[in-house]
Amino acid sequence: MGTQFYVGQVVEPEDLFFREGFIGELWDVLEKQHAILTAPRRTGKTSVMTHLLHKPADDWLVLYLNVQDTSNPADFYLQFLDEFNTRDPGVFRKLFSKGSLLINKALTAVDSVEVSSLKVAIRDNDKELANKWRDRLDDLLSRIRQVDCKVLIILDELPDMLLAMKKEDPNLLMEFLGWFRKQRLNPMPSRDPIRWLIGGSINLMGTLDAMGLVDRMNDPEIVQLPIFTPEQVGEFVETMLSGQGCIFNADVPAEVAKQLGRPIPLFMQMATQELYRTWRKKERELTVDDVSTVFSNLVTSPEARDKLQHYHSRIAHYYDGSTDPAYSLLNILSLSERGASRKLLRQKYDELQFAAGIERPDHEASRAFNELMLHLENDFYIVEIENDRYDFSGGLLKAWWRKYYA
C-alpha cells in the first residue's frame, strides 16, 4: 500500500487499504452467482470495482460499464460494445469476425478514422437499434459466452440508469428489467461463464421497491462493502502520516477516528491530508488539538464544501417524494447536542406531513417514515447511536449541515 492521498478520486489497486480480504470473498461469491455490491457514495465501491477490473482473478475477463448517464437499452448496448472493444479488441474482433456485417463495417470505419468510436459508427448505421435492442444484446451476450474464460460484467451506478429509463419510458424499463432477469437466469449461473456485478451509490432494492419491481432483481446475492473500523482508521492515519515523514503525537490517529464517527473514506482522506499540510506549515509535532482544528476548518474550506455539497443536493435528486422530510429531519439532528429519539423524529415527520396537507392511514405513514429512516441510514447520513436514538453518522457532515442548512 502506498502513501498517496486520493481525495474524491478512485484509488489505484496498489494503494487500496483494508480491502484485500473482502475482494477475495467477492471473487468467491462471483464464482457461483451474480452479485449486487451495496455501498453509499464516497465509501470506496468504485475503487473495489477498479481493483476487480485491473487485477482480475485467474481466467477472468472483466468489463466495466458506468451507466450513470445511460437512459435507454440502445445506448446501453452501444456502451457495452465500446467497452468490450476497448478492453480486449483482439477477442472482440475474433468474436465478431463472422455473421455481423454491421459490426465489421463499423470497425472498418473506426480503423480508417472515419468516425471517432465504435459507438458512433454503430449509432450512425444501425437504423433498427432502437426497436431491436433485445436482439442486439442477445447476440452480443451469445458471442461473449463463446470466450474461453469466465467474463465478469460490472454495471456501476445501475440505479441511476433505471431511474432515467423510468422517466424516459416506464414501459421500456419494464421490458429491460425483464430481459436482464432472463439473461441472468438462462442459463443458470452454474452453467453460465458470464457473471454480473451490479453496483450503485443509491439503494438499488429501495429504488426498485418504490417502483414495485423488486421481483425483477431478487436473484443476485447482496454483498455489502464493510465499513472501516476505528482501528483501521487509526492505522490508515498512522501509515499515511508516517509515510510522509510527519511527526505526530501517538493519540492523533485515534482522535481522527473519534471525530470521523462512521468513517467515510473521502472524509478520512481529507482529514489526514489536512493534518499533513498542517505539519508542513508548522514543522512541529501534530497534537489532538490540531485534529480538532483540522475538522473545524474543513467545514468552511472550499475543497470540503464542494465535496460535501453532494450530500445535500443528492437528496433532492434521489429521495423522490421524501425530499422535504429528509431535509427537515437532518436539520433537527444537526442542531442537536446528542441526536434525537426515533419517537421525536416520527413526531416531527407527522407534523410536516400534516402541514403539507398529506393525510394517510397510520400504517402507511409508519411505512413511509421507516423507509425514509432506512434510506438515511443506508446512505450514511445517520446512525443509531443507542437504542432508538439517532444522530449524524459523522461530526464533519453534521457540523457542515448545521452551518449551511439548519
pLDDT tens track for 184-220? 999 999 999 999 999 876 667 767 777 778 889 999 9
Report d(CA 145, CA 1) in Å as an integer: 36
Q: How many CB atoms lie within 10 A of CB 186?
A: 9
pLDDT mean over 283-292: 95
CATH of the domain at 145: 3.40.50.300
CB 323 within 8 A of CB 316: yes
Instruction: Say whether both 126 and 46 belong to one domain.
Output: yes
Instruction: Say whether both 249 and 165 belong to one domain.
Output: no
Residue 113 has pLDDT above 70, yes or no: no
392 — phi, psi (to 5°)? -60, 150
- Quote the pLDDT of residue 301: 85
Give domain status of residue 8, yes or no: no
- Quote the pLDDT of residue 375: 86
Give domain status of residue 304, yes or no: no
H helices then E strands: how many in the chain? 19, 8
Residue in the structure block whose three cell numbers are 421497491 = 209
Q: Which residues have CB under 8 Å from 286's CB, separation 6+?
A: 241, 246, 247, 248, 249, 252, 275, 278, 279
Q: Which amino acid is present at 54?
A: H
Residue 2 has pLDDT above 60, yes or no: no
> Considering only CA atoms, which of 63, 36, 79, 211 is closest in space to residue 150?
63
Give domain status of residue 1, yes or no: no
pLDDT mean over 273-295: 94
- Quote the pLDDT of residue 3: 65
- Highest average pLDDT, of 174-188, 196-210, 309-323, 382-396, comes from 174-188
Give the tens place of pLDDT for each residue, 59-110.
999 999 999 999 999 999 999 999 999 999 999 999 888 878 888 888 888 7
Instruction: Say whether both 197 and 237 belong to one domain.
Output: no
Domain final residue, candidates 224, 257, 289:
224
- Quote the pLDDT of residue 374: 87
**Total domains, the chain:** 3
Instruction: Say whether both 53 and 157 belong to one domain.
Output: yes
Instruction: Say whether both 190 and 236 belong to one domain.
Output: no
Packed helices 323-335 and 342-355: angle between N→C axes, nearest 10 degrees: 140
Give domain status of residue 355, yes or no: yes
What are the Cα distances from residue 364, in Å, to 208, 352, 378, 393? 18, 15, 21, 27
Burial (CB count <10 Å: 0-12, 13-18, 19+), residue 306:
exposed
Report d(CA 381, CA 329) in Å as an integer: 11
CB 270 within 8 A of CB 307: yes
Residue ranges making up the domain that contains 136? 19-224
Q: What is the mean pLDDT of the chain?
A: 90
- Quote the pLDDT of residue 106: 84
Radius of gyration of the chain (CA): 24
Host H or E run for residue 64: strand 60-66
Give the tens place of pLDDT for each residue, 212-265.
788 899 999 999 899 899 999 999 999 999 999 999 999 999 999 999 887 888
Residue in the structure block whose three cell numbers are 476548518 = 297
Instruction: Say whether both 169 and 236 belong to one domain.
Output: no
CATH of the domain at 387: 1.10.10.10
